[in-house]
């Protein structure tokens, strides 16, 4: 991990903004899909694909690459947009999301779209696959510096399989596994504290032998430094609890769980007038300039 | 009755060798591990009873103990396959793929991942453990998954060959094996080819009554015993053993149906969804034939000896003989 200059941060913020714009356009064109997660994770997607990951968009199967597993597959519009901007496939294809014959399936399918490392959507199984990849890479080289990054939702960790995988990762001391939890505090039915309380979350992961960090998911420098530290951890896996703002960038959507599974144009009608939602959403995107941080809203 | 070449010469004697076919999995896996360093094995705390211990002892660095967590095991294996390994995951069929079905479907089959799923302790012949541990639904739930190959070996030799074959085949495979001793029907030289059924016994063409028995898994010996008695009584009886429930050897099934008055299927499984279903589905579309399906009829198993249970649920030689005689014209 190299030093991140102010200019680097600015460029990554610009990439994140591009990813958010594409995501909104895709969701509107599709007429269905998830808004909250992709907008909330755009900064981390940008940081991973334009700074952190060892990868080659022109050679997606490059054996020496790092792996990124999207366990919370429903936020794939954000990943698709990122992959397109990174050069894995043409950006024009983004607007085929969820349409018949598209490579951009409603939930990701490995083998259909370059850059997708695993089929996901049914929650809880991505982390297990990431553990398997990290294990296999370490079998081939005990000191491997090929990292496996796995993003999960916070609601997703209701799933028992997450904890089965965490137990195995802890047992196997998988230093090359870095889990990123989108801690946006919402899930489909409501706020995580109401649906299934997760706290104390840090202590849960520590109890499973993970190195735990908590960061602001929208502070690119803080997240960058956390990944650097996670890479340096040896003898145990790492988890970064990334506190994020669901739907970040569009103030009327932000932190409202009702936007978890709705696209702009189909959301809660009492917040945004239909019809105007699309342009409004794009116009209101406020991730540049007066950028906000997770800690600003509570 | 004409018997296939390469069958064990003791099959009709009291000296027929009795070996659990799970031993064939254990031996085959170890051999596969010797042949190919990419082969890895995972266990969910049932290393000994699935015979994975032979591999684990020989290649401890390629063995992963995941603890009692079948769902995790399925997806971890998918991840390992994505990095080039050839993972074999073994547990009791009731738990893997029983409990882990969605993980097998999505993270193994939908990913078209090169993972081999081994369902041990299948069927009611598990015996005293009772219905909780007797998988009689596993072939049905695996057969409906795209990309998945489904194999039920008849004995220890075939289980070994199926394991070695699966290690070389690129893609997801399910192999069901059994706990208890079962008669050794084939030999090390018997053929085992992808998607191929084996005509173990062929009845006499000129007979007035002709029946074709289609069997899978460890019940092949029951079918052969019945065929011997029926043929000796002048009822032409052929036995087609189908190790590959999927893909089904349609050519062999069709030929058997055309050559016989009716078909009886025999499997240690629910009659819905497994071999009987596969045969009925195919023949109803191509060559409508009377088919009587022997197996478990929409019931759960229970505790007992394997012999008591196979008799109770109608999968023993006597039931097969009675069924054939009752259905003669």
Catalytic residue from among B27, B31, B70, B137 = B70
Q: What is the mean pLDDT of residues B163-182?
A: 97
Question: Is the CB of A242 inside 8 Å of chain B's CB atoms?
Answer: no
B69 in contact with chain A, both atoms CB, cutoff 8 A? yes
Of A125, A137, A164, the CB nearest to B106: A125
A272, pLDDT greater than 60? no
Q: Tell me if B83 and A160 make a contact (CB, 8 A cut-off).
A: no
Q: Which of residues 121-150 of A touch B (CB under 8 A)?
A: 121-122, 124-126, 128-137, 139-140
Contacts of B77 in chain A (CB under 8 A): 132
Q: Percentage of chain A with pLDDT > 70?
A: 89
- Assembly ipTM: 0.94
* A129–B76 C-beta distance less than 8 A: yes
Average pLDDT, chain A: 90
Examine the pLDDT at B25 and tell me if it is beyond 50.
yes
Q: Average the pLDDT over A28-38 and give the result.
A: 86
The structure's pTM equals 0.94
Residue A103 has pLDDT above 80, yes or no: yes
Q: Does the pLDDT of residue A289 top 90, yes or no?
A: no
When comparing pLDDT for A232 and A253, which is higher?
Answer: A232
pLDDT at A69 over 70: yes
At A172, is the pLDDT very low, low, confident or very high (cuts 50, 70, 90)? very high
Q: Is it the case that residue B59 has pLDDT exceeding 70?
A: yes
For A130, name the nearest residue in chain B, comparing CA atoms only.
Answer: B79
Backbone angles phi, psi at B46, to 5 degrees: -135, 45
Would you list the DSSP string of A202-242? HHHHHHTT-EEEEEETT-HHHHHHHHHHHHH--SS-EEEEE
Q: Which of B64, B71, B78 sits opposite A161 (nearest CB)?
A: B71
Mean pLDDT of A256-284: 66
Confidence category of residue A20, pLDDT binned at 50, 70, 90:
very high
pLDDT for position A129: 98
Cβ-based contacts of B112 with chain A (< 8 Å): 110-111
A3 min Cα distance to partner chain B (Å)? 30
B:77-96 residues touching chain A, CB 8 A cutoff: 77-85, 87
Residue A279: the pLDDT is 63
Q: State yes or no: pLDDT of A106 exceeds 80.
A: yes
| Residue B171 sits at the chain A interface (C-beta within 8 Å) | no
A197 φ, ψ (degrees, to nearest 5): -55, 135
pLDDT digit string, tens, across residues B94-120: 999 999 999 999 999 999 999 999 999
CA distance A123 to A18: 27
- Lowest-pLDDT range, A20-29, A51-60, A250-259, B100-109? A250-259
**Separation of alpha carbons B131 and B176, rounded Å:** 17
CB contact under 8 A, B71 and A109: no
**Is position B70 annotated as part of the catalytic site?**
yes
Percent over 90 (pLDDT), chain A: 77
pLDDT at res. A288: 53
Q: Which of A19, A129, A29 is nearest to A76 (CA)?
A: A19
Whether A122 sits inside 8 A of B106 (CB atoms) is yes
Q: Which residues in chain B are closer than 8 Å to A135, comparing Cβ atoms?
A: 64, 76, 79-80
Find chain B residues with C-beta within 8 A of A160's C-beta: 71
pLDDT tens column, A194-245: 999 999 999 999 999 999 999 999 999 999 999 999 999 999 999 999 999 9
Q: What is the pLDDT of residues A74-84, one digit of tens each?
A: 999 999 999 99
pLDDT in tens, A120-167: 999 999 999 999 999 999 999 999 999 999 999 999 999 999 999 999
The pLDDT of residue A128: 98
| pLDDT higher at A263 or B271 | B271
pLDDT recorded at residue B95: 97
Closest CA to A173 of A237, A262, A229: A237
- Going from the N-terminus, what domains does chain B have, and what CATH number goes with each? 2-15+192-326 (3.40.50.920), 18-183 (3.40.50.970)
Query: Cα separation of B18 and B11, whole Å?
Result: 10
Put simply, the answer to whether B76 touches A111 (Cβ < 8 Å) is no
Query: Does the pLDDT value for residue A267 go beyond 80?
Result: no
Contacts with B84 (C-beta within 8 Å, 6 or more apart), sequence order: A63, A136, B38
CATH number for the segment(s) A6-296: 3.40.50.970
pLDDT attached to residue A269: 55
Average pLDDT over residues B43-58: 98
Q: Do B78 and A139 touch (CB under 8 A)?
A: no
Give the pLDDT score at A283: 64
What are the tens digits of pLDDT across the range B190-249?
Answer: 999 999 999 999 998 888 999 999 999 999 999 999 999 999 999 999 999 999 999 999
Which ranges of A31-145 does DSSP label H, i.e. alpha helix? 36-47, 76-85, 125-140
Cα nearest neighbour of A141 on chain B: B61
Structure tokens, A82: 């990122």
* Range 109-168 of B in CB contact (< 8 A) with A: 110-112
pLDDT band at A99 (very low <50, low <70, confident <90, very high): very high
Give A89 to chain B, closest Cα distance, Å: 20
Residue A268 pLDDT: 64
- pLDDT tier, A29 (very low <50, low <70, confident <90, very high otherwise): confident
pLDDT at A286 over 50: yes
**The pLDDT of residue A290 is above 50:** no
> What residues of A are in contact with residue B71 (Cβ under 8 Å)?
124-125, 128, 160-161, 164
Domain boundaries, chain A: 6-296
Query: Which residue in chain A has the smallest CA separation from B102?
Result: A122
Q: Cβ of B193 under 8 Å from any chain A Cβ?
A: no
**Mean pLDDT in residue range B133-139:** 97
- Asked if B304 is an interface residue toward chain A (Cβ–Cβ < 8 A), one would say no
Is B311 in the A-facing interface, judged by CB distances under 8 Å?
Answer: no
Beta bridge partners of A69: A150
C-alpha–C-alpha distance, residues A249 and A245, integer Å: 9
Looking at beta carbons, which residues of chain A come within 8 Å of B76? 128-129, 131-132, 135, 165, 168
């Amino acid at each position: 991990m190299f030093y991140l200059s102010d200019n680097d941060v600015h460029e990554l913020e610009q990439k994140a903004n591009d990813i958010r714009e594409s995501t909104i356009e895709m969701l509107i064109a599709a007429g269905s899909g998830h808004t909250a997660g992709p907008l909330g994770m755009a900064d981390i997607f940008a940081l991973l694909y334009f700074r952190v990951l060892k990868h080659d968009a022109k050679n997606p199967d490059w054996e020496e690459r790092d792996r990124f597993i999207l366990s919370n597959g429903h936020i794939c519009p954000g990943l698709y947009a990122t992959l397109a901007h990174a050069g894995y496939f043409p950006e024009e294809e983004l607007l085929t999301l969820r349409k018949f014959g598209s490579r951009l399936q409603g939930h990701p399918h490995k083998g259909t779209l370059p850059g997708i490392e695993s089929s996901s959507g049914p929650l809880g199984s991505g982390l297990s696959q990431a553990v398997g990849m990290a294990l296999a890479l370490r079998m081939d080289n005990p000191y491997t510096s090929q990292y496996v990054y796995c993003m999960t939702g916070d609601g997703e960790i209701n799933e028992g399989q997450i904890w089965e995988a965490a137990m195995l990762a802890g047992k196997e001391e998988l230093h090359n596994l870095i889990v990123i939890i989108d801690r946006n505090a919402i899930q489909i039915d409501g706020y995580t504290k109401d649906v299934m309380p997760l706290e104390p979350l840090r202590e849960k992961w520590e109890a499973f032998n993970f190195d735990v960090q908590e960061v602001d998911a929208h502070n690119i420098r803080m997240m960058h430094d956390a990944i650097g530290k996670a890479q340096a951890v040896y003898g145990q896996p790492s988890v970064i609890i990334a506190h994020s703002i669901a739907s970040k960038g569009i103030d009327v959507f932000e932190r409202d769980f009702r936007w978890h599974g709705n696209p702009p144009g189909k959301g809660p009608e009492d917040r945004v007038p239909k019809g105007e939602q699309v342009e409004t959403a794009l116009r209101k995107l406020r991730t540049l300039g007066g950028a906000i941080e997770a800690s600003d809203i509570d | 009755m004409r018997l296939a070449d390469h069958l064990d010469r003791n099959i009709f004697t009291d000296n027929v060798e009795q070996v659990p076919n799970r031993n064939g999995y254990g031996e085959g896996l170890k051999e596969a591990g010797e042949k190919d360093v990419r082969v890895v094995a995972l266990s969910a705390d049932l290393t000994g009873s699935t015979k994975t211990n032979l591999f684990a002892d020989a290649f401890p660095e390629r063995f992963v103990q995941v603890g009692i967590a079948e769902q995790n095991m399925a997806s971890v294996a998918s991840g390992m396959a994505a990095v080039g390994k050839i993972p074999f995951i073994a547990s009791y069929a009731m738990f893997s793929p029983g409990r882990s079905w969605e993980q097998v479907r999505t993270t193994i089959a939908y990913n078209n991942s090169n993972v081999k799923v081994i369902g041990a302790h299948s069927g009611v012949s598990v015996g005293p453990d009772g219905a909780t541990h007797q998988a009689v639904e596993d072939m049905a739930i695996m057969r409906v998954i795209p990309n998945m190959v489904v194999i039920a070996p008849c004995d220890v030799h075939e289980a070994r060959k199926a394991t070695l074959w699966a290690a070389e085949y690129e893609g997801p495979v399910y192999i069901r094996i059994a706990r208890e001793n079962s008669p050794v029907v084939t030999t090390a030289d018997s053929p085992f080819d992808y998607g191929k059924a084996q005509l173990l016994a062929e009845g006499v063409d000129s007979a007035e009554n002709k029946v074709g028995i289609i069997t899978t898994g460890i019940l092949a010996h029951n079918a052969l015993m019945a065929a011997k008695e029926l043929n000796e009584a002048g009822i032409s009886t052929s036995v087609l053993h189908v190790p590959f429930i999927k893909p089904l050897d349609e050519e062999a099934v069709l030929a058997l149906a055309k050559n016989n008055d009716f078909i009886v299927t025999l499997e240690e499984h629910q009659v819905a969804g497994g071999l009987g279903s596969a045969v009925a589905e195919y023949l109803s579309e191509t060559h409508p034939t009377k088919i009587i399906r022997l197996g478990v009829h929409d019931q759960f198993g229970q505790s007992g000896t394997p012999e008591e249970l196979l008799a109770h649920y109608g999968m023993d030689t006597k039931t097969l003989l009675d069924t054939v005689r009752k259905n003669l014209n």
